[in-house]
Structure 1
Amino acid sequence: MKRRSQTKAQATKEVDKKSKEKIGALTLDQFSSDVIWQLASQYWSPETKDKHLPYNADIIERIYADEISSGKSSARRINMLEFSQYLEQYLWPNYKRKSATHAHLMSIVIMANEKFRERVEVWNVFEQLPEEYPGFFRHVLESCLPDQATKQNKSTMRERTALLMFLNHCFNSMEIELCREQAKRLVSLSMWHCLQPRRREQELREVPEWRKYWKRLQKKEKENAKPDVMWERHFMQNLIVDFLHILERIPLEGELNSNVVHYCERFLEFIIDLEALLPTRRFFNTVLDDCHLIVRAIMSPLVRREEGKLFGQRSYE
């Protein structure tokens, strides 16, 4: 009886082993026949490096349209792209600010967010080409706001949410020099340029050391005033104002785009994180207060809607 039991157990193990091998083989076949893996083999997979075709920007456009921004199944496709090393082997090595399209930018942002979601190292990818990061970061900032000329934003609400998440990751990675050098300029004392003169004077009066630094900033501006610098100093305020425009357009009743709700929730997360960090809170808090964001968020119609429960909870945090 014991021998029969042992034989039966061994047979069961063999069947299980073969089943697992079969499942693994099927999975591998599915992967190898997938369009993502075919493109990876042709353009960026390290395993086929000697056989790669020349860089083709249209591939990025195609993948973004068909795989990344296509709809509900995009999460699995993004995961597969991450597994194929799409960001580190193709997107970032070929990024150039002057020629990069919106799809190229968003592909990098979304793939970076996926790495953060999976808790995989991200910044070492960007450190491979650190000279391109300042231009990329500025590209991200510009895509967060409506165009100054047309007042239209070419980014969809889903894309703006992804951009906001990436920005939040940057501010939460201030220990990384690459991030710190770009992010700190947005939340330094110079951002007080966007305050009303009376409010700014009131704040400077309370801390004499800041007044000294402020005078030095003004002196530098007279010597070398650049439009790009002023744009950065007003970025956070403009981002808040744009958010309030979106929030206050939400009706108390009727249809509501879930992507808008998700953006509003993520925006409050972003603000909460900025307030939680000492390097970002010191000067940003005054700008936040000057915009009356918390009060306006609590009084918004979204808080009174069923879809706004989570948003309402975060408004009171």
Structure 2
Amino acid sequence: MGTNAQGTKSKGPAPTVDQINADRITQLANQYWAPYTIENHLPFDDNIVEVIYLREISGSNFAIRRIMMLEFSQYLENYLWPNYVTSKSSHAHMMSIVVMINEKFRERVPAWQPFRKLPEHFPGFFQQMLEACLMNEPSISLREQTALLVFLNHCFNSMEVELIRDQVKRLVSLSMWVSLQQGRRDQELRCVPKWRKYWKIIQRKDRDNPDQRNKLDWERKFLQRLIVKFMMLLETIQLKDEVNSDILHYCERFLELVIDLEALLPTRRFFNTVLDDCHLVVRCHLSNLPQREEGNLFAQVGSYYFFHCFVA
């Protein structure tokens, strides 16, 4: 059995060749993107991406079997990415790419190779993905938000890939301390004179490029805003009422993301201080989720790994 980004397991035997050939995904692939029918392909159609996302991905509650079929058909390599355009591509198009990359990681196959073709579109795609991470229901479902967290975690764990590193390093550099309270930031900078020097350079560059300030500040505050979003969602969980399983999965995946950011030296150096400034550890300890039976995994992961790693 396999597990998808939302933690659900695939069941039953693998599909037969006849079942694969008769599947509507295979039929669409033959019409639009299968490499063995390339001479007879129909032109790219945005509506096809929308329909596939609504029926096969989101509409199936991210069923692993449907996503596997799309991966088997080379949907990402031959249709999604070659036709992604930053200024025009829809939310469904972006989310479909996210889901397919998560599936590649789940299957433990090379995930980032498709982006080597048309790499110039990756920064725009990454920005669209980041903006979606900070969206809330009803604009975006919790399952979608969870898939985005999983994808973001894959990015941070793939910093050896230049294309990925160029995007994520801006989120965890010294400049992210713009989200700290003034007193806390001054205290931290006094402790390390080298960083204080770099901070002054950052401030000078901001003054020289005021037109870029809003965009840069958005990136610098991204992780802090994501933490705040998580804490607000965590506080919706009551001590006795039924827990929404989608909220539970989101909280678990968020902790996994934070744990990995804390475990990696390139990301921990400055993120650790922002994490502490948000009082995330205390807020997690005081929340209702660890006191519930459904929160056992959340509590175990937090207590034995993340909290100890943070204190150390």
TM-score by length of 2: 0.90
Structure (1 or 2) with the larger CA radius of gyration: 1
Query: Does residue 178 of structure 1 match 2:163?
Result: yes
Give how far 1:29 is off.
2.0
Counterparts of 1:235 and 1:72, CA distance in 2 = 27
Q: For structure 2, which runs of at least 5 residues remain unmatched after alignment? A: 1-13, 306-312
Which of the residues 92, 96, 99 maps onto 1:103?
A: 92
Give how far 1:71 is off.
3.0
Q: What's the counterpart of residue 308 of structure 2?
A: none
Query: Does residue 287 of structure 1 match 2:270?
Result: no
Query: Does residue 163 of structure 1 match 2:148?
Result: yes
Give how far 1:48 is off.
0.3
Amino acid at match of 2:133: C
Amino acid at match of 1:167: L
Which of the residues 106, 113, 119 maps onto 1:130?
A: 119
Amino acid at match of 2:233: I
Amino acid at match of 1:104: H
Query: Does residue 271 of structure 1 match 2:258?
Result: yes
1:302–1:214: structure 2 CA closer, same or farther, 3 Å change rule? same
| Match runs of 1:139-158 below 5 Å | 139-146=128-135, 154-158=139-143
Deviations 1:219-247 (A, max 9, x none): 00001022111100110100000100000
Detail structure 1 runs of 4+ shifted over 3 Å in the superposition: none
TM-score by length of 1: 0.89
Which of the residues 87, 90, 113 maps onto 2:76?
A: 87
Q: For structure 1, which runs of at least 5 residues remain unmatched after alignment? A: 1-23
1:178–1:282: structure 2 CA closer, same or farther, 3 Å change rule? same
Deviations 1:104-132 (A, max 9, x none): 11100001000000011011111211100
Amino acid at match of 1:77: R
Counterparts of 2:62 and 2:101, CA distance in 1 = 18
Counterparts of 1:304 and 1:293, CA distance in 2 = 17
Amino acid at match of 2:103: E
Counterparts of 1:177 and 1:101, CA distance in 2 = 26
Amino acid at match of 1:46: P
Which of the residues 288, 298, 302 maps onto 1:311?
A: 298
Give the number of the structure with larger relative contact order, counting CA–CA contacts within 8 Å between residues 6 or more apart.
Answer: 2
Give how far 1:152 is off.
5.7
Counterparts of 2:64 and 2:54, CA distance in 1 = 14
Deviations 1:110-161 (A, max 9, x none): 0100000001101111121110000000011000113xxxx76622110000
Contact 1:250 1:256 in 2 (8 A): yes
Amino acid at match of 1:221: D
Q: Aligned pair count?
A: 289
Q: What's the counterpart of residue 20 of structure 1?
A: none
Give how far 1:56 is off.
0.4
Counterparts of 2:16 and 2:301, CA distance in 1 = 42
Query: Does residue 27 of structure 1 match 2:16?
Result: yes
Counterparts of 1:313 and 1:222, CA distance in 2 = 46
Amino acid at match of 1:37: T
Q: What's the counterpart of residue 113 of structure 1?
A: 102
